[in-house]
Structure formats: structure tokens, C-alpha cells
Structure 1
Amino acid sequence: VTSVPGNEGDEEAPLKFNTEFDIRPTIELPDYKDLEVTVDPITVTEEQEAKVLDELRERFATLVDVERPAEKGDHVTIGLNATIDDEEVDTAEGLSYEIGSGSMLDGMDEALEGLSAGEDAVFETTLAGGEHSGETATVKVVLESVKERELPEADDDFAQLASEFDTIDELKEDLKNQAAEESKTNQGVEAREKALEELLKLVEVDVPENMLAEQVEQHFTSQGHAEGDDHDTEEHREEVTQNFREAFVNEVVLDTIADAEEVQVEQSELIEYILSSASQYGMEPNQFAQMLDQAGQVPMIMGEVRRRKALAAVLEVAKVVDTDGNEVDLSFFLTPEGEEDAASEENVDEDNS
């Protein structure tokens, strides 16, 4: 406040004050008409073909008893007895477990490998749940039975069982085509990511530091209770801060391009995005749409779709070649169907990271 009524004897003087607030920065539109991007070529190797076929065979695998020491990947039936200071804290029998999955107790995979049915092993582990969570326990594991996954033979009978094809050769050809389509989608994702990288080299965005700090604090406030004190570390804060900074810069650049290209989001595009996202989260589309509406996130979703269309507009005029020097056709990738395939691929990658 710089001046108030009555100051210096003037009762009619207006109230005067200064205020500071962050505003969204404006940038000069980068010249992206001559953008050049190099991506990996579409390739389907024999190893990839075999991998896709084996993945299909895995879906039709059966478990069969084996009389040999247990190995990684075996499905076993076990009994457990856990003690702390010689006092029993938990016991169970007839538990099913896949060796190597790491889904039960730390150290159990190593204890089970090499055991035969009827044998046991003892190991130390830190309990992860229950009233003794965080305490060190001595666990005795008894191997009751061992089963291995047996894959069906890759023959005509399997082709007829697993697909609409009559022969294994027809099935292999179809799987090869599917692998090529996946490689094509991956190539499009790579082109989009690299196009954005090249765009960001052409501009400088002044990120409001106060706004960035508020976003980081809000993130840790909302996540801290669920993930505990270990969640808020200096290293994690640096990572979150960098992620928010990059996201803000991306938004500013793509929003500026969307404005210049007069990009609009059609209702059908918004619906398609919601349908695809609902499927990825395993939710009913109506339920997912209602959740977005109640959370006030529909404008955010529209902004995301608009920015994707802006980046697609950049790719349309960019020169994209593979490492062999061949020009890459991204026409399918730039359709709504191709964009949704790419979004699904990106979400899968994020989940696995």
C-alpha cells in the first residue's frame, strides 16, 4: 500500500497500492516450416516375430507337474512360517507363487530356486505389511509342488485354436503385419517426440518461478500423506520441479502454435479421447466422463487434445526421414486413429517406467 485516505491530511485521497502477480509468458512463434526430424526405420526382425508368436503361445500355456529343482518362472505351491525372536507371527499353507515375480517376500525367490518338492529353506526378510510391518523376520518356506508352463506347439492346430486362420503360416504372416504396425506407431511416436524437442530448441520460455514453486508444493502436499515422508526428498523435488518446468514450456509453445494454426477441438475428437482414456483405465466411458466433469477437468482434456493437434500440424509440414535416408509417411499417424494408438503406446510406456 502506497497511499491511504487521510494520509497527509487528505481524507478524499484514493487508496493506492501496488500488486505483483505472475502472468503467462508470450513467445515469438518459432519458424517450424523447415523442421527436420530423423527417426528409426520400420523393422520387423525374426527375433521380434518369434517374440510375438511366443507371447500368443503363452496365453494358451498350461501348467504341468515336473520332478526337478525349481527354477525362475516356475509356478510353485508353498507353505510359510514366519517368526520374530522365535515367536510365530504368521503361517500359511498351499500358497501359489511364481518364482521370480518378487510379489511376496524379499529373498524368497533366491530361497526357492534349486529346491525340490518336499524340501525347505530359511531366510531373513523385512515384513512389508500387517502389525509387524518393517520388522525383520525369519521365514521358513516349504516347497510343496513345482509346475512349469508348457507352451503349445506352433502348428496348424494351434493356429486354428488361437486365431481365425487355418495354418500356422497364415498366423505368422498376420503376426508379422501386426508387429510392423506396432513399429509404425512407435516410429510416429518417435517423430512426434523429436519434433517437439526440435521446436523447443527454437524458443525460450520464461517460466514464472513462483508459479512453479506453488505447483511443486501442491504436488507434495497432496501426495505426501499417501506416500509417506520418504516421498519428499531433495532428489525427488528436483525431478518433480523439472517435470513441471518441461510441461509448462511444452504447453506454452504448443498453445502458441495452436493459436497460429487456429486449431479447434471437435466434439467427436473429445469423445474419442475420452473413450480411449476410459479403456486404458478400465472404466466405463460414461463413468469416466462424469468423473472428468465433476473434477472440472474437461477444459484440461480439451487443451491436451488441442496441443496434440498443434503438434500434428507441425509434423504435417516437417521433413521426416529415417536413418536410411528414406522419407517417412506419417499420414496414418496424423489421423485421429493414429493419434489414439500413439497415446495408448505412450501410456503403456509410462506405466512400465
Structure 2
Amino acid sequence: MKATWEKIEKNLGVLEVEVEAERVSVALDKAFLKVAKKANVPGFRKGKVPRPIFEARYGVESLYQDAIDILLPEVYGEAIDQVEIFPVDRPEVDVEQFGKGETFKFKAKVTVKPEVQLGDYKGIEVPAQNLEVSDEELSQELERLQQRHAELVVLDEEAAQNGDTVVIDFDGSVDGVPFEGGKAERYSLELGSNTFIPGFEEQVVGLATGDFKDVTVTFPEAYQVAELANKEAVFAVKVHEIKRKQLPALDDEFAKDVSEFDTLEEYKEDLKKQLLARKEKEGLSVREGIVVDKVGDNAEVEIPEAMVQSEVQNMVRDFDNRLHSQGMNLEMFLNFSGQTIEDLQEQMKGDAQKRVRNNLVLEAIAKAEGIVATEEEINKEVADMAVAYKRSAEDILNILAANGSLNSLNEDVTLRKTIQFLIENSKEVPAEQAEAAKTEESAE
């Protein structure tokens, strides 16, 4: 097989391939075995028609498309390895020659991974961070824990406030006509959670147990259900019950209930250590983000739209998985938020572009610095996964191999090592100095 590659634009080129006639013949044999199973030829059972009779009746040309479909993916993969390119989108293939006894010639217009021109990536300045835990932060954490362990107490006479949970019936209609999904009984709604149509929860605030009210709202213009978009709806609401959080007292008993400590003071000391550890972890994450973004901005790279769209799809899929873990799904989210899938994809596009850019730059830095994942590091990663999933390391390796994910694991480890390299070679400066430099860059 012969393959040549010619770049015609920055990230676009033409791959020309010529495949031996012998391989064309093999592909035609495979195509015949495939189509002969369904061929209806009088006097022969399906799958039993001789090749010469089949070709005499239908023509050898009837096998060409199936043979191309069999051969093309195989030789395309070999060709891109031979010319050492990395496609990032489906190729546009133009078959120039294919026939019995002939070579197979085709051209493919291919979008490839872009080249990166690195800028400065060592000595990146990052603002110093405050890694102390203030009394206010400790109080806020204690309040959050109080909220988590609060009890819902039923109110008999008081009116509903933001933060209360109301148990309601509602029956919605547009122009007097009920609509699907607009009715529920004894539904628990936390006021101020913004889970209902804008304006609904605010009108329930102030109602008391047993109250009735017609709540009038307008569906968002971009509402998922097109026939309801921008329509005014009226919900007949009845309040059955109002529940309010009752916070536990901050005392030694609270400490015993939520921790292994006997006194509140002991618990507060331990909580302060936990907050400090969290701050340090978050601080490292912030520093990594700043360094990676600056290094990405310093580099020059032209990103193909196909790579951005692919990353958007990955982000949507990850978002859907997170929703499932919370008992929701993408369709429910879109319905509640009044968005379309196109709206969501458009919102993600900027972050997707940044991710693609930064990953390409990190990959280029790893190559420039000779950063690679060692066998020992890969084995440790597999061992950690084995512990997390309660499987043997051999099982994890087999699963990764079956899913084609071993290379991705290698790339992930290399990526993390590259970020660590950048952090070790960055420079911490006072926050005021970093802010001044940022302002100066913006002015330029």
C-alpha cells in the first residue's frame, strides 16, 4: 500500500492512498460472502449460489460498495499511521478507482490535530493565597452543619417564608385549558429553591396552611415545550402544610451527635483542621487552573471546530451523568430550565474551546519536556482503581483493554505530571502584584 500526505491548509490536508489489487480481490470475496446470504437466485438456496452465476446475474459491480465498506476503514487506519497524522474528524473520501483486478485508489480530505506554537510556560506568576481559616469561615461551616442536621417542624399558624417547605396541590391551565404536567397533589416544594417557573414560588410566600390562591406566571420564551413558551398560565394552589427547619443548638450534645468528639471546642478544633486541608486542596486546584490558563493563552494554536464540537458532546454526556446521580436526567433538566439542547451546547462551547486548547498545549509541553507516564505510575493508577472498584488489578487492566481505554489512562497520567511540572516551575507572587500584572495585560 502506498500513502502520501499533503497539507493544504493549517489543519487540513489530502491523504492519497493506493491499495494493491490483491487486497481488492480479498475484499470482493468477503463482500460476496456477505451479499450471497441474501441473494435470491432461482434454483439455489440463499447462501449457496456459485460466485460465477451470481456475477453473471448481478454483475461484479454489485459487490463494489460492500467491498469498499469492508476495505476502506482498514486501509485508512493503516495509511494515517504510515504518514503519521492524527485525524480529529471524519474524512471526506473520494474514491478514484475500484474494480476487479485493479488497485484501489482514493483521496481523503482530513482535518488533523493542530500544531501548537508554545509561548512561555515556565516561571508563570500566580497570586499567593490566604491559607488561614478565619473565625467567620468556621462559623459559616458550623451553620452549614446545623442546616444539614436541622429538623423540619410543621407550623400551624405562621405564614410561609423563603426556605420553608410547603406541601401543596396545584392545577395549572393556559387559557382555561389544563396542560400535561401542570397538576400535582401534596407536592413538597422548598420556597426559594427556584425549581419552579419564575414567579411561582414568590407568590406562595406569605400563604398559610389551608390557604387557596391562583398563581399567575408566564412561561419563559425559550421554554422546552414549544406550545407553552411565552404563554401565561394560572395555577390553582392549595397549601396543605408548611414546614420550617429547626436548627439544633451549638453545644456539646451537637458535637457528640455529628462527630467523635465529646465537646464542641474539640470538634471546632478538628473542623478547623479539616477546613484548612480543604483550603489547601482548593488552593492547589486554583493555582493549577491559573497556570494552565496562562500557559494556554501564551501559546498559539488554531483549533478545528470538529474538536470543539466533540468536546461539547463529551461535556453534555458528563452533565447528563451527573444529573442521573442526582435522580434527574437531561430531559427533565431542560424542561425545568426552559432550555433546548442547542441552548445548553452553546453555553458549553466557550469552556469546550478552552479545554481543547489547554489540552493541546499541555500535550505539546509534555512532548517538549519529555514527560511520559512510567510503567510504575500506570501500575499504581490501576492498583488504585482496583481498590476503588473492589476488583483485581488484572480485572481492571482487562476492562480497560476491552474498552480501548489503556491509552487514555496513559494520557491522563501524563497530563497530571505535566501540570505538576508547571506548578513546580511557577512562581508565587503577592496577590496585589498579580492583580496589577493582570490589569496591565488587559490594557495592552
- Given that 2:215 and 2:235 are in contact with CA atoms closer than 8 Å, whether structure 1 keeps it comes out as yes
Give, in angstroms, the shift of residue 320 of structure 1: 2.3
- Given that 1:77 and 1:96 are in contact with CA atoms closer than 8 Å, whether structure 2 keeps it comes out as yes
Q: 243, 253, 268: which is aligned to 1:172?
A: 268
- Given that 2:311 and 2:352 are in contact with CA atoms closer than 8 Å, whether structure 1 keeps it comes out as no
Structure 2: distance between partners of 1:246 and 1:92 = 43
Structure 1: distance between partners of 2:200 and 2:261 = 43
Q: How does 1:312-351 map to 2 (within 5 A)?
A: 312-323=420-431
Q: 98, 101, 122: which is aligned to 2:190?
A: 98
Give, in angstroms, the shift of residue 140 of structure 1: 1.2
Number of residue-to-residue matches in the alignment: 304
Indicate the residue corresponding to 1:263 in structure 2.
372
Structure 1 gaps of 5+ residues are 5-13, 279-283, 326-353
Query: Matched residue of 1:232: which SS?
Result: helix
* Superimposed CA distance per residue, residues 49-96 of structure 1 (whole angstroms, 9 cap, x where no aligned partner): 111111212222111122211100112222223344445566543322
Structure 2: distance between partners of 1:223 and 1:187 = 27
- Given that 2:166 and 2:191 are in contact with CA atoms closer than 8 Å, whether structure 1 keeps it comes out as yes
Structure 1: distance between partners of 2:298 and 2:174 = 62
User: Which region of structure 1 is more displaced relative to structure 2, 258-267 or 23-32?
Assistant: 23-32
Structure 2: distance between partners of 1:222 and 1:201 = 22
Query: Matched residue of 1:153: which SS?
Result: coil
Pick the structure with greater CA Rg. Answer: 2
Q: 217, 224, 244: which is aligned to 1:148?
A: 244
Indicate the residue corresponding to 2:358 in structure 1.
250
* Superimposed CA distance per residue, residues 155-187 of structure 1 (whole angstroms, 9 cap, x where no aligned partner): 001111110011101111111111111111121
Q: Against the structure 1 CA distance between its residues 129 and 291, is the aligned structure 2 distance closer, same or farther, given a 3 Å change threshold?
A: farther
Q: How does 1:300-319 map to 2 (within 5 A)?
A: 300-319=408-427
Structure with bigger RCO (C-alpha 8 Å, 6+ apart)? 1
Matched residue type, 1:183: K
User: Which region of structure 1 is more displaced relative to structure 2, 78-87 or 183-192?
Assistant: 78-87
Matched residue type, 2:309: V
Indicate the residue corresponding to 1:335 in structure 2.
none
Matched residue type, 1:42: L
Query: Matched residue of 1:102: which SS?
Result: coil
Structure 2: distance between partners of 1:32 and 1:221 = 28
Give, in angstroms, the shift of residue 248 of structure 1: 3.0
Q: How does 1:31-46 map to 2 (within 5 A)?
A: 32-46=121-135
Give, in angstroms, the shift of residue 297 of structure 1: 4.2
Structure 1: distance between partners of 2:346 and 2:341 = 9
Give, in angstroms, the shift of residue 189 of structure 1: 1.2
Matched residue type, 1:164: E
Give the fraction of aligned pairs with identical amino acids, expressed as a percent.
25
Give, in angstroms, the shift of residue 214 of structure 1: 6.4
User: Which region of structure 1 is more displaced relative to structure 2, 81-90 or 307-316?
Assistant: 81-90
Structure 1: distance between partners of 2:415 and 2:314 = 28
Structure 2 gaps of 5+ residues are 1-13, 19-102, 318-329, 434-444
Indicate the residue corresponding to 2:215 in structure 1.
123
Indicate the residue corresponding to 1:345 in structure 2.
none
* Superimposed CA distance per residue, residues 299-323 of structure 1 (whole angstroms, 9 cap, x where no aligned partner): 3343133112111012123222453
Structure 1: distance between partners of 2:385 and 2:236 = 49
- Given that 2:256 and 2:262 are in contact with CA atoms closer than 8 Å, whether structure 1 keeps it comes out as yes
Structure 2: distance between partners of 1:206 and 1:97 = 48
Indicate the residue corresponding to 1:56 in structure 2.
145
Q: How does 1:99-248 map to 2 (within 5 A)?
A: 99-125=191-217, 136-207=232-303, 209=304, 212-213=305-306, 215-216=308-309, 230-232=340-342, 237=346, 240=349, 242-248=350-356
- Given that 1:270 and 1:302 are in contact with CA atoms closer than 8 Å, whether structure 2 keeps it comes out as no
Q: Against the structure 1 CA distance between its residues 317 and 171, is the aligned structure 2 distance closer, same or farther, given a 3 Å change threshold?
A: same
Indicate the residue corresponding to 1:73 in structure 2.
163
TM-score (ref. length: structure 1):
0.69
Root mean square deviation, CA, Å: 4.3
- Given that 1:64 and 1:148 are in contact with CA atoms closer than 8 Å, whether structure 2 keeps it comes out as yes
* Superimposed CA distance per residue, residues 168-224 of structure 1 (whole angstroms, 9 cap, x where no aligned partner): 0111111111111111112111211121133234432243x3xx2465289579979
- Given that 1:27 and 1:205 are in contact with CA atoms closer than 8 Å, whether structure 2 keeps it comes out as yes
Q: Against the structure 1 CA distance between its residues 255 and 113, is the aligned structure 2 distance closer, same or farther, given a 3 Å change threshold?
A: same
Structure 2: distance between partners of 1:33 and 1:144 = 63
